[in-house]
Amino acid sequence: MKRKASLVLLIGWIAFAFAPAPAVRSAVGDTEGVGRAAASAGKGSISGLVSGAKTGNMLQGAVVDVPALNRQALTDNNGRFTLTGLPPGPLELVVSYTGLRDERRTISVGGDNLMPLSFELSPEDLIVLEKFTVASEREGNALAITNQRNALNFKNVVATDSFGTIPNMGVGELLLRLPGVAPVYDPQGRVGSVSVRGMPSEMTSTTIDGNPAFRGNGARITGFIGLVGAFIEQVELTKGHTPDQSANSLGGGVNLRTASPLNMKEKRRFSYNVAGRWAPSFFEHTRDRLDHPTHPLISLEYQEAFSVAGGERNLGISAGVFYSENNNDGNLEFYNYQNTLNSPAYIHDYRSTANIVNKHIGSTNLKMEYRPSPASKFTFGAIYNFEVTPHNRTATIRAFTSQTIATLDASGQPTGTGAILPGFTAARTEIRALPASTVNMSTNVATYYAESPTFNASGAHKFGNWDIDYRAAYTTIFIHRPSGTIGEKGAQGGTLTYSVTNVGWIVDRADPWAPTFRQTAGPSIYNLANYRTGIQHSTLHEEETNSALNGAFNAAYGFNTRFPITLKTGLAYERRIHHPTTVNSRQWSRVATAPPLPDIWVMWMEFDERNPGRLPMVNPRATNAELSNPALWTENVYFREMVKRSQTRKATEDISGAYAMARAKFNRLGLLAGVRTERTDVTGEGNVRRTPATAAQIPDPVARAAYDYGIKVKNEKSYTRSFPSVHFTYDLTGNLKARASWSTSFGRPNQTVLLPSATANDTAQTLTVANTGLGPQYSENVDVGLDYYFKPAGLLTVGFFSKNIKDYIVSSQIGVVGAGPENGYSGDYAGYALLSSTNAGTAKVKGLEIDYRQQFIFLPGWLKGLELAANYTAIEAEGDFGTAGAALKNKEVAGFVPRTFNVSLGHTYGPFGTRLTYNSVGNSLRTFNANPALRFYTADLDYIQVGVFYRWKRSVVFSCDVTNVAGAQREVYQYLPARSAEIRSPNQTVTLGVKGRF
């Protein structure tokens, strides 16, 4: 019923389409715009370029209006427009663009000749503040608003310079400021991915100039760490999918648009941005971080336009390089509480982790655009990204015991085996020295290397009423994880663990940001010689190859009818391959008679600063040098062979799609409707385990591993889905636009679930397997909203949306393993319950979005330099999520982010400027459990950044930005906010930079 009501609501918009109305300045989105119908009325034609007078940039989306004929055209991404079929004689043209002054010009149209024109639009009188005003930033913001205004579907568009300096020059830092976007931080506090409209981050797709981008690891999440914002001109966030776009996104689709080298008036342009990121001592950092407090960020870009083959400015070339070192440190405090709804609850498991990681990120890009004629354009691009982590050092202390409360005798002394002493509070727990009371140390030195070359080519042509374009791209991602096998100057590391038992302690988190740990009994945890149990050293050497090949062809035809109607159709193909392999992972155990571990420490910890001694955190590079000595270490050969066989797998995904759509403009009403169909074929290959043999049956560990993991499995599956959509816009006034849409989309499962695997639990008689036939999650989406556009460049949008998600992916029993040698597991596991992921659940999401952007240039005096951008999103979710009869809502739904709020306040006065940005994300459920006491929540996070700049001259701007000014800490709590489960220390830095353009 709700779906029918939504459709009725959308159809109702048509009733307003043919009402008598004055012409409203808006366009459909093609370069011909309104007026193909009049093509037969005359033979005259005009074409031209529209640029900004202050910056010289060509303007995309400018409206070229012929009022006498009610004809309009939009400029393309190189500022070009064409109007054909004009009657000979004088005609008045009006060229307009958001934030710039309209230009009126009377021209004389001749016969068959194509008349070339050129327009330079000047800023509104109000927008000219001082000679130091950053015109390019204002024009970039106007371009983004113009593109959002002209779109027939729901999407947000922002320029990369809209929010001032981006300290890490990363795309994620910009995305988190968009409506409905919540950041997902990596362990070092950087924006690694995003959640859109409350959906999990893997349900957000990303493209670069329309070509799919991905991160490898078999995940759908696009990592933004390696995507450089310095080369991106605009960020588009699509929330209402159209048929000519991939439907693979439940939350939204991100498209990163690179700048066009032909979109400038100058002959050549050189841009630079050089900065240093500093970890000052007046912020909280580890000793190791303070020993290396600064690292560079460098971005250089060159653009030039050439005239070749008799053309004029028809070849554009841009090239850029980026390099950054991210030296980050962090501290994690982890608490695991008693399984109870009552308060207080004791802490039975405590961990403190210190981490310091040095990442080197680089990118180079080349883009070439060639126009052999005004009606054709060819583009070629190449991008090479790399990320190298020379060292990633981690040290963890874990103190844990059994969940039992001690009983006291008549004299008040504890008896029995209860580990937790009575009298605990919400902040303080005392543990007895018992065999179950263990302190474990873990140190790790890892390295990482990844590289990703991408090549793309495209073409676009105009033949009369036909518009044809096509593109192809190929990307590979090679990931090398040689943890423990290579390192600085050839040194090797790995992971080292060791324990001591019969320890008593008190953990006190009265100050949750600086908890204390005091040993009360047992062998000293600060004496390395006491760690004699569970000593293991392991090394990891994994390699992963990922590739993606994609292509698309689109053709659009504009009819010569009274109202402009365009039909569009196209084909698309994509192949993704995920191929992880384990080259050489090994594990050793310490010989019982060996001496204590070498006393060479890996790093200082915050734990050491707060407590009475330094923990013996042994550097794994010290023990790695001993591994060849059989008197000290014994290798687990079975482990090496088992991992090699079980972790070498391959998944292939082929996606073919086709669509048909129509777009039209009926007076004030804009319409876009159509359907897209996609077929997905998946294949998963790998080895799974049979019932393992004993050492007595097969003494040789290599042969035993080969037998245990000797079942080769290849699974194949396919599914086909169709995605209809319809989008309406209605111009209530010249500046007020109403929008409504009904669309469908889906979210494919990660490629990792396509890899064959089988994990047996012989005690529970279960076999957990991958489900190669797992289908996507399907969503029906409804959006309604109002947009109001301010002069000279601003907007206020209010929108409501809902999502009805079906085939939600959940884990459940899907059957029972049959008997006999043909059961798929060589006759093993007969009668075991078969567990896997399946499509079984439903969910509903609804929300409110408000977005406001304004430049207050109409205010008097120094106030005219103010500008404000703010947005707010509130979301409600409910569903059964695969549990029949369940009614889970809001904070009972894992992964949904219910609230986001962003503010960016800037001010420019003469050569000086400042900006404050504030990002707030509401608390949400991170891990669901049927027992409320075991549910984990992500706490509210408020993140503030402050920056200032000084424009010395047009080509030199100095800036200073402080991230995480308030020292916000990322916190996870268990059941109640008072039960802090994880606390990650802030990453506060100062970025000093200089940038400019020649």
Q: Per-domain residue ranges for the chain?
A: 1-23+651-852, 31-124, 135-258
Question: How far, rounded to the nearest angstrom, does the alpha carbon of residue 6 sit from its chain's CA centroid?
Answer: 31
Buried (b) or exposed (e) across 364-376, using 16+ Cβ within 10 A?
Answer: bbebbbbbeebee
DSSP 227-274: -BGGGEEEEEEESS--TTS--B-SSEEEEEEEPPTTS-SSSEEEEEEE
Whole-angstrom distance, CA of residue 498 vs CA of residue 972: 27
- E strand residue ranges, 268-314: 268-278, 294-306
Query: Is the CA virtual torsion 32, 34, 39, 43 positive or negative?
Result: negative
Q: Are 184 and 194 in contact (CB under 8 A)?
A: yes
pLDDT at position 29 is: 38
CATH, range 31-124: 2.60.40.1120
Torsion on CA atoms 884, 888, 893, 896, rounded to nearest 10: 110
Interstrand relation of 211-213 and 114-121 (parallel, antiparallel or unpaired): unpaired
Query: Hunting for tokens 């060509």 — which residue is that?
Result: 58
Q: Are 186 and 180 in contact (CB under 8 A)?
A: no
Helix, strand, coil shares, percent, the chain, to 5: 10, 55, 35
Question: How far, rounded to the nearest angstrom, does the alpha carbon of residue 274 sit from its chain's CA centroid?
Answer: 25
For 135-258, the fitting CATH number among 2.40.110.10, 1.10.580.10, 2.170.130.10, 3.40.50.740 is 2.170.130.10
Whole-angstrom distance, CA of residue 394 vs CA of residue 383: 32
Whole-angstrom distance, CA of residue 641 vs CA of residue 689: 13
Burial class (CB in 10 A: 0-12, 13-18, 19+), 139: buried
Whole-angstrom distance, CA of residue 911 vs CA of residue 132: 5
Query: Which residues of the chain carry a pLDDT beneath 50?
Result: 1-41, 126-135, 487-490
* Amino acid sitting at position 129: L
Q: Are 796 and 131 in contact (CB under 8 A)?
A: no
CATH class of 1-23+651-852: mainly beta
Cα–Cα–Cα angle for 162, 165, 171, rounded to 5 degrees: 75
Q: Are 269 and 319 in contact (CB under 8 A)?
A: no
